[in-house]
Amino acid sequence: MWRPTELGAVIVRRELTLKIGAETRPVFLRIGVPVRSPAAEEGEPWWCPMQWDGFGPADKMCSIAGEDSLQALVLALDAARRLLPHYAEQLGGALSWAGCGDLDVISPQQDLVEAYGKVAGEAMAAVRSAEAALRDTQDSALASVHDKLLELVHRYGER
């Protein structure tokens, strides 16, 4: 199956910082325009080429396939989001972008989504636990609290 072997026209570029001990050095990510085989037939994928350097032996170029150009681009960004920190860890270091440590260096908002998801899951577990504890209460004030918790369980607990 055809796939690009060159980066082509660069549409995005990000400079990251790799820190290993006291040493820092730049790592560059470049993503090319999603392309398709010049002789593509229906059903053949689009490819989004990407290249990174600054890691040493882990430097490389690869292409990520998608059903259309947008999916190929989104999947390439996700692959970079997962691969680059992995290569940094293999070297005993960590990546940062724009001076922000402990954040996803490609899409920091993804870290926020995952953090909110974790908090929401923990909150829902607490709601379920409280609802179960109040299920058989005879206290009318607590019964109304139970009803509200049960409503939350039904509304958000099955997601």
Order of all β-strands in the sheet with 10-20: 60-66, 46-53, 23-32, 10-20, 94-96
pTM above 0.85, yes or no: no
Do 37 and 79 lie in a common domain? yes
The type of residue at 23 is E
pLDDT at 124: 83
**Tens of pLDDT along 63-120?**
999 999 999 999 999 999 989 999 999 999 999 887 766 567 776 665 556 666 777 7
Do 135 and 61 lie in a common domain? no
Do 85 and 119 lie in a common domain? no
Do 120 and 72 lie in a common domain? no
Mean pLDDT of 32-58: 91
Do 86 and 18 lie in a common domain? yes
Tell me: pLDDT of 121 over 90. Answer: no
Q: Is residue 2 part of a domain?
A: no
pLDDT at 49: 97
Q: Which residues are bridge partners to 35 per DSSP?
A: 47
Provide the domain limits for residue 91: 10-105
Q: Is residue 135 part of a domain?
A: yes
Do 47 and 117 lie in a common domain? no
